[in-house]
């Protein structure tokens, strides 16, 4: 059984619009399961792709121009040095230059939280987004790709070990927005190979482990992957996700937890919602699943609540995002009272 709590406790995705690290941490700590925020508007080093790139051979990081790219020649030059440190966990941890926020989080007393959470950009999204000197995604390079998967697995394990020193129920999200694209037929990296690689990648990762994404991927594949938690934007994707009830049930039966991303953080959709409308939306979804033979109380015992997505583009900066965090806490309280859920 997973050590990840359920019972509609709250957490959130890590990317936040704040330019004040202390305020971002305070907001993250307002949830039941806090996390260390990623603040790309504060510094390019706080960007999730840049953080994942630290010590990766071949990376060309241009901080002044906020550009991240890759050189095959540089990769070959730096590969031997990287391999010589492959059994050194500190090589894969996040340095203070790449996230002051991460190290501030680790300095806190987090033992009494029900759990804490970290995150790392996943190999599919990273490899799909980082282009080499020929403008080709490194994910399609048969030499780089196997190294990429192993490197990122070690990064995940290193961070998880640091977090578990602070809280025994720590777990990790692998952020994989690229999964909704890469499982389509693409030149150089077919669907079958992608799925094999992802299965092997998760076999290399310590537990508890899970995926977060906001798009619409191959849900059947993800729900049958050996994950402990799946985090998704259910506000936008409810209709499609609920159609996978048999796979959802099998995922829960294996001890999996679902984090239901329900509170929108963009200004317009946020202002169109309230607690009652979001309760109704979730109840409708859970009732549909109950009709498909998934007991609702059991489902809720294996569920978390979160905002639907990250958001960096609101003209009001962090204001609506902070309101979204407040609403997810209020929503959790209302639903936990409604369904008689005790603290996990």
Q: Give tens-digit pLDDT for 218-270.
A: 888 889 999 999 999 999 999 999 999 999 999 999 999 999 999 999 999 99
What is the Cα–Cα distance from 258 to 252, expressed in whole angstroms? 8
Q: Looking at residue 178, what is its pLDDT?
A: 78
Q: What is the pLDDT of residues 133-155, one digit of tens each?
A: 999 999 999 999 999 999 999 99
Q: Looking at residue 116, what is its pLDDT?
A: 97
Report strand pairing: 303-307 vs 257-263: parallel
pLDDT exceeds 60 at position 187: no
Q: Is 279 helix (H, G, I), strand (E, B) or coil?
A: helix
pLDDT exceeds 70 at position 183: no
CA torsion angle for 262, 264, 265, 271 (degrees, to 10)? -130
Q: Which helix (H) or strand (E) holds 174?
A: strand 171-175
Mean pLDDT of the chain: 93
Can you name the CATH fold of 9-338?
A: TIM Barrel (3.20.20)
Instruction: With cut-offs at 50, 70 and 90, classify the pLDDT of residue 343.
Output: low
- 94 touches 121 (CB < 8 A): no
pLDDT exceeds 80 at position 50: yes
DSSP secondary-structure letter at 137? B
Q: What is the mean pLDDT of residues 35-50?
A: 96
pLDDT exceeds 60 at position 16: yes
As to burial, measured by CB atoms within 10 angstroms (0-12 exposed, 13-18 middle, 19+ buried), residue 232 is: buried
∠ at Cα 15 (243, 146), nearest 5°? 75
pLDDT exceeds 60 at position 340: yes
Q: What is the mean pLDDT of residues 10-25?
A: 95
pLDDT exceeds 60 at position 344: no
Instruction: With cut-offs at 50, 70 and 90, classify the pLDDT of residue 332.
Output: very high
Block residue for tokens 């990623």? 38
What is the Cα–Cα distance from 182 to 215, expressed in whole angstroms? 12
pLDDT exceeds 80 at position 181: no
Q: What is the mean pLDDT of residues 316-320?
A: 94
- 212 touches 259 (CB < 8 A): yes
pLDDT exceeds 90 at position 182: no
Query: The pTM is what?
Result: 0.94
> Please, where are the H alpha helices in the chain?
21-28, 48-53, 72-84, 89-92, 100-106, 123-129, 144-166, 179-182, 191-203, 219-224, 234-242, 245-253, 267-271, 275-291, 296-301, 319-338
Q: What is the pLDDT of residues 292-302, one digit of tens each?
A: 999 999 999 99
Instruction: With cut-offs at 50, 70 and 90, classify the pLDDT of residue 291.
Output: very high
Alpha-carbon distances of 127 from 9, 94, 134, 165, rounded to whole Å? 33, 19, 14, 30
Block residue for tokens 């669907």? 191
From the list 205, 204, 257, the residue with the least C-alpha distance to 230 is 257
Q: Looking at residue 61, what is its pLDDT?
A: 97
Q: Looking at residue 215, what is its pLDDT?
A: 81
Phi, psi of 209 (to 5 degrees): -145, 150
Instruction: With cut-offs at 50, 70 and 90, classify the pLDDT of residue 52.
Output: very high
What is the Cα–Cα distance from 286 to 226, expressed in whole angstroms? 23
* Residues present in the chain in total: 344
What is the side-by-side strand order in the sheet with 229-233?
A: 9-10, 303-307, 257-263, 229-233, 209-213, 171-175, 117-121
What is the Cα–Cα distance from 71 to 92, expressed in whole angstroms? 20
What is the Cα–Cα distance from 9 to 298, expressed in whole angstroms? 14
């Amino acid at each position: 059984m997973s050590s990840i709590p359920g019972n509609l406790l709250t957490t959130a995705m890590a990317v936040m619009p704040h330019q004040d690290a202390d305020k971002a941490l305070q907001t993250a700590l307002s949830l039941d399961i806090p996390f260390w925020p990623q603040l790309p508007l504060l510094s390019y080093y706080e960007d999730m792709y840049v953080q994942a790139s630290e010590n990766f051979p071949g990376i060309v990081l241009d901080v002044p121009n906020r550009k991240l790219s890759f050189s095959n020649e540089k990769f070959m030059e730096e590969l031997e040095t990287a391999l010589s440190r492959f059994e050194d966990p500190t090589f894969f941890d996040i340095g203070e230059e790449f996230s002051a926020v991460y190290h501030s989080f680790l300095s806190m007393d987090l033992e009494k939280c029900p759990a804490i959470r970290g995150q790392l950009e996943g190999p599919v999204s990273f490899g799909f987004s980082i282009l080499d000197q020929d403008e080709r995604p490194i994910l399609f390079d048969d030499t780089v790709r196997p190294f990429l998967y192993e490197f990122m697995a070690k990064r995940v394990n290193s961070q998880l070990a640091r977090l578990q020193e602070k809280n025994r129920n720590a777990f990790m999200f692998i952020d994989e927005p690229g999964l909704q694209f890469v499982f389509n037929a693409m030149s150089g990296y077919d669907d079958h190979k992608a799925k094999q690689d992802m299965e092997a990648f998760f076999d290399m990762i310590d537990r508890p482990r899970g995926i977060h994404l906001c798009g619409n991927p191959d849900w059947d594949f993800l729900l049958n992957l050996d994950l402990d938690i799946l985090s998704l934007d259910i506000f936008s994707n409810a209709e499609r996700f609920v159609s996978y009830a048999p796979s959802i049930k099998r995922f829960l039966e294996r001890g999996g937890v679902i984090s239901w991303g329900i509170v929108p953080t963009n200004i317009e959709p946020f202002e169109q919602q309230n607690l009652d409308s979001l309760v109704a939306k979730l109840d409708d979804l859970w009732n549909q699943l109950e009709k498909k033979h998934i007991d609702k109380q059991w489902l809720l015992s294996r569920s978390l609540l979160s905002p639907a997505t990250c958001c960096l583009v609101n003209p009001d900066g962090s204001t609506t995002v902070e309101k979204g965090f407040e609403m997810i806490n209020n929503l959790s309280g209302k639903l936990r009272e409604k369904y008689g859920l005790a603290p996990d």
